[in-house]
Chains A and B, each alone.
Chain A
Amino acid sequence: MSGGNRTRANGCLSSCRGLYTREVCSLADLAKVYSSAEIRVRVAFEMKLPDDDGLPTYDTAVSGRRRRTWTNRRRSRTLFRYVMISCILFVGYYITTIARNTHTNSTVLSISKLREQYTSCQALREVPSGPTGPRSFNKRWVNGTRSVFIRNATVWVGEPAPGTSEEDARRGVGYAWIKSDVFIDRGLIVKVASAINVKTLPTGYDVYDAKGRQLTAGIVDMHSHLGLGGFAGLGDDINELSGDITPYVRSIDGFNALAPEVQWIKSGGVTTSLLLPGSGNNMGGEAFVIKLASGKSSGREEISQEDMWADPDKTWRYMKMACGENPKSVYGKIGRGPFSRLGEAWEFRHALEQAKKHVESQDDWCRTADQFGVENMKEYLPSDLQWESLGAVLRGQVRVNTHCYTIADLESYVRHTNEFKFRVYAFHHAHQTYLVPEILKRAYGGTPAAALFADNSKIIFDHICTF
């Protein structure tokens, strides 16, 4: 039995427990529940109950099946009473079962595997926070890298002085260039103060005299395809154009850690980049934040993708999506879509619907395991790599960055965020956002930023010209 079946089974079960909060299982069905949990699952599946919130499911959408409405109140009330009784009986039965549960799973499932899977329930439910908190060293620090004492710099901290009101900060008040020294140790900025007393510093550091020059944090470019496009236009691993919906691919898999542009981009002060897949697909795939240091000449121990990961704890995941002109121009043919923005909206919603079902099936499994013991599970934790990353989007574990230009694109996408309850962190290119800030403010979970070009950029069709 697939994970999807399990979702609905548990959906039914929880509706019984939740009594009248939802549509209910029929008496006949419930009778079967008593006989066997396995039958219970199957019965419930056959009922094809809708999902938890008010959205029409994919199944209902394609089958045309409608929800039952409470038009006949008397019948409903009668039914309700039966349900009450049934559920009470059922709960009683189950409590007794649990109390007597000394025997092991009667099916052929591996208890140890079930237990192992159960431990991942915690990770599935977790929404990342941070990374924050004090550190004694930077995990990316390469042991042996010498400490540096940067003297006599003019420093821009990157935030307003402490005590600046939010209103002032928004007007740029409270920011300043300040005369300061900076001490760096174990890959961390350890001290930022004017005229640091060297006696307070640990021994064995290099001194760099900034001669009053200006010092900032490394530049962060949150939209880059470096190392994916191939040097001098040769080769291209930016877009996975095998299909329009590829949330399951990862930009890092195509990233060349030895790409020559890493060095020259860094020569412009860029130290961190968000490596995005291209905009040829509505859902382009997972993105990764890397630091632009690779190999021994950059103070690293190796040349590898893994070594360039900006956050070794991998706290957040990232994903690229794209609205509008590019996907339809890539895929749009008579009889094959998305042909228009209409089709793109469907592609988005259809994919999100699949991911939602996947998430619910896992959540139901975990919840059931919580309540009845993982040893009693009749199936393994549902797993589907195709929808795993998009599921993580719905779980709030992924920072989505979406290429959208026009009002139609922005508004449509904002609707998707509300329909499926996920957050978009930034719209990229976003040339019409300035005309419709109120639309952005309606996005689910918080107002997205706009990742812009100052006065334009080049026309190479946002990297879809090479196919």
Chain B
Amino acid sequence: MYYKVEAYTASEKAGKILYDQGITPTYVSDNPVSNSQHVVFEAAKAYANGLDYHVALAGVTSASAELLGLGDRIGKIKEGFDADVVVWDSDPLSIAAAPVQVWIDGAPQFEKPVELKKPETQPITPDVELQEDRSSAEMSNVIFQNLKRNLLTASEVPTSKQKSNVIVTDGSITCVGSCHSELQIATSKKYTVIDLKDGYLTSPLIAFGSSLGLLEIDAEKDTQDGGYDDESFARAVDGLSLGGKQLKTAWEHGVTRAITAPSRGSIEAKGVSVGFETDAKSLLDVGAVFNEEVAAHYPMTLRAKSPSLSAAIGELRSKLLKAAKGKKKDKDEDPDKFSEDYYLKEVVAGKLPLVISVHKADTIASLLKLKDEVEEALNKSSHLSSKPKTLRLVILGGAESYLVASDLAARNVPVVLAPLLPFAQSWDQRRSLPGAPLSNGTAIDILLDHGVEVAVGVNEEWETRGLRFMAAWAWANSQGRLNESQALDLVGKNVYDILGLDVGVEVENWLVWDGNPLDIGSRLVAVGTQGRVTAWM
């Protein structure tokens, strides 16, 4: 949200506050800054952030039309209005709503619209509780009543008709279920009681791919660690800046951890990434950093040409082959620790994943070929009996990755889509799939169909607060490919798996939601991390 200093005081409650003051809020795309295709989702988020449901919908229809002086021509379904009509596959303010047909001046606009299989739903019943201001409180002993679903990754329990409880003692979950005896003890010890309507228990979310922790205001260099150049190969942990508004916002949206590499903004990164807690106050605090060296990163986006993409790939190949050839036992050849050569040794030894920021299908194909070449060199010298060595390549970005889905699957190369819904903003993303009604699904659906391991990352910091929405989007349009747990894993467990990391202790790291986090109208009620609990009431 804080992309320039002029926006640093922005609030996602702005629409509601303005409307309460008699000022009309409308929602806009600024296409191509954001994709106008999804401008209705701006209204949906405005509703989630406290604006009245109908006012939010008017903010992309009738209110906008009126401001254009065309309030008696467009923006309403009334006799005498232009026949500009949309029939939606779900409530327009639900997540991932798409038209099944659009008419302009009475003419149908899609000859063969793709209609996704979605369950039939009723219009959203506006929840006025979303309009309430809440304040946060720290606590350690809590009873959450009326849990509907437990979606904690490892302990998925079948939905029971009977609502259950979550009991948290000293910040850790001590019981999920009816918990009769625990409940008695907790009640007698005067635990805080939080009554939910439809409670959901999930793992926290993780943001991978952005500059979170290295950047506070996108357009202000002073607020950033700085980028990288051809020579540098820095460790993000050395530039970590904690405690800003970006991180606070992420944390308040359930994103308790981030993995960040030295970055030029968006997915473009070079160096070694760090994994850290978004609510950490200091690098030196215990537990602030959960992994100092997550992966080695290189960019292969349009800006990575040095002087060309072919030269950049060639250079990376040379470096990896050199690292592969180096004899481990010869101490003279051991590179300095913390140098690029050192990390590349770790990469070819299979200890560090190699994350490449790339959107274009052709470049991904070149990288897969590079992986084959390096692996061939690695395995040439090794014994036949030993396990073949592999280069742990990870694709970050991946707008066009679906075009090489089978090749990715054949090589077990995972993809972290960042963002989930790219569009032809740049030449290397031009074949991004728009989804229904124009295409049957987007990149994620095709990747999943081919068995590619997929996660959803963050392209720019502002997207962090929308991570749950992206999980929800993938789920709503997956046509059964994903269940709710698997959808949330896209922004949680899958990131850890892809990077070979440990998820952490589950009972100590959790989120409690009121309402399904994959629905637009749910709210985060509590965050538990490392034995601390913050609840919003």
Which A residues lie at the B interface, using CB under 8 A? 128, 130-135, 138, 140-142, 145, 147-148, 150, 153-159, 170-172, 175, 177, 182, 184-192, 208, 210-226, 229, 231-234, 260-261, 263-274, 289, 291-293, 297-300, 310-311, 315-316, 318, 324-325, 399, 405-406, 409, 425-426, 428-435, 437, 440-441, 447-463
Contacts and interface: CB of A to CB of B under 8 A. Distances in A.
B74 A217 contact: yes
B105 interface: yes
Interface residues of B, number: 117
Interface of B: 1-7, 9-15, 17-19, 21-46, 49, 52-55, 57-58, 60-65, 67-70, 72-92, 98-111, 120, 123, 126, 218-219, 265, 423-427, 429-430, 434-438, 460, 462, 465-466
Nearest to B58: A158
A208 to B, nearest CB: 7
A217 B76 contact: yes
A322 B61 CA distance: 24
Contact of A399 (B28, B35, B67): B67
Most buried by A among B29, B43, B55: B29
A274 B66 CA distance: 12
Contact of A449 (B3, B23, B36, B123): B23
The 8 closest A-B pairs by CB, nearest first: A299-B107, A158-B76, A268-B37, A223-B28, A218-B84, A454-B45, A405-B6, A456-B462
Nearest to B39: A221
Contacts of B120: 211-212
Contacts of A155: 77
Contacts of B103: 148, 184, 218
Given A191-B79, A266-B104, A272-B84, 15 more contacts: A131-B70, A157-B77, A159-B78, A213-B100, A214-B87, A267-B102, A272-B65, A272-B70, A310-B70, A311-B70, A425-B67, A434-B11, A449-B67, A453-B28, A453-B42
A263 B87 contact: no
B219 A459 contact: yes
A459 B84 CA distance: 32
A457 B87 contact: no
Contacts of B110: 267
Contacts of A405: 4, 6-7
Contacts of B108: 148, 299
Interface of chain B, main secondary structure: loop
B83 to A, nearest CB: 4
B30 A157 contact: no
B33 A460 contact: yes
Contacts of B111: 297
B357 to A, nearest CB: 16
A324 B267 CA distance: 28
A454 B1 CA distance: 9
Nearest to A211: B120
A84 B22 CA distance: 51
Nearest to A436: B21
Contact of A220 (B33, B49, B75, B77): B75
Nearest to B466: A455
Contacts of B73: 131, 310-311
B106 A226 contact: no
Contacts of A263: 438
Given A187-B105, A214-B87, A298-B104, A157 B78 contact: yes
B107 to A, nearest CB: 3
Contact of B14 (A260, A325, A434): A434
Contacts of A433: 14, 18, 23
A293 to B, nearest CB: 4
Nearest to A460: B33
Contact of A216 (B24, B61, B68, B465): B61
Contacts of A154: 123
B223 to A, nearest CB: 12
B88 A220 contact: no
A462 B40 contact: no
A430 B6 CA distance: 9
Contacts of A300: 107
A261 B438 CA distance: 12
A29 to B, nearest CB: 45
Contacts of B1: 455-456
A212 to B, nearest CB: 7
A234 B6 contact: no
A154 B84 CA distance: 16
Nearest to A329: B219
B92 A214 contact: yes
Nearest to B42: A454
Contacts of A432: 6, 9-10
A428 to B, nearest CB: 7
Contacts of A266: 102, 104, 109
A451 B106 contact: no
A189 B83 contact: yes
B6 A437 contact: no
A260 B62 CA distance: 26
Contact of B33 (A186, A272, A406, A463): A463
A128 B76 CA distance: 21
Contacts of B19: 170
Nearest to A293: B104
B33 A458 contact: yes
Contact of B80 (A135, A217, A431): A135
B70 A289 contact: yes
Contact of B69 (A128, A211, A231): A128
Nearest to B13: A434
A220 B64 contact: yes
Nearest to B218: A459
Task: Give the interface centre of B17, B109, B438 by most chain A CB atoms within 10 Å.
Answer: B109
B28 A435 contact: no
A458 B105 contact: no
Contacts of A457: 3, 30, 33-34, 462
Contacts of A437: 17-18, 21-23
Contact of A187 (B35, B46, B69, B83): B83
A95 B101 CA distance: 68
A141 B437 contact: no
A189 B77 contact: yes
A431 B62 contact: no
A264 B423 contact: yes
B104 to A, nearest CB: 4
Contacts of A430: 14
A37 B15 CA distance: 59
A399 B22 contact: no
A234 B427 CA distance: 7
B24 A153 contact: no
B4 A268 contact: no
Given A267-B110, A273-B36, A293-B105, A429 B7 contact: yes
B40 A219 contact: yes
A367 to B, nearest CB: 27
A196 to B, nearest CB: 12
Nearest to A133: B72
Nearest to B433: A264
Contact of A265 (B2, B5, B31): B31
Nearest to A144: B107
29 contacts: A131-B73, A138-B105, A156-B123, A185-B83, A187-B83, A212-B120, A218-B84, A220-B60, A221-B64, A224-B36, A226-B36, A232-B424, A233-B32, A261-B32, A266-B102, A267-B436, A267-B438, A268-B37, A269-B88, A272-B84, A291-B105, A426-B67, A431-B14, A432-B9, A434-B14, A437-B21, A450-B14, A450-B15, A456-B2
B143 to A, nearest CB: 32
Contacts of B53: 172
A188 B82 contact: yes
Contacts of B31: 221, 224-226, 229, 261, 265, 273
B89 to A, nearest CB: 7
Given A153-B87, A269-B99, A450-B24, A140 B105 contact: yes
B105 A459 contact: no
A154 B89 CA distance: 11
Nearest to A406: B6
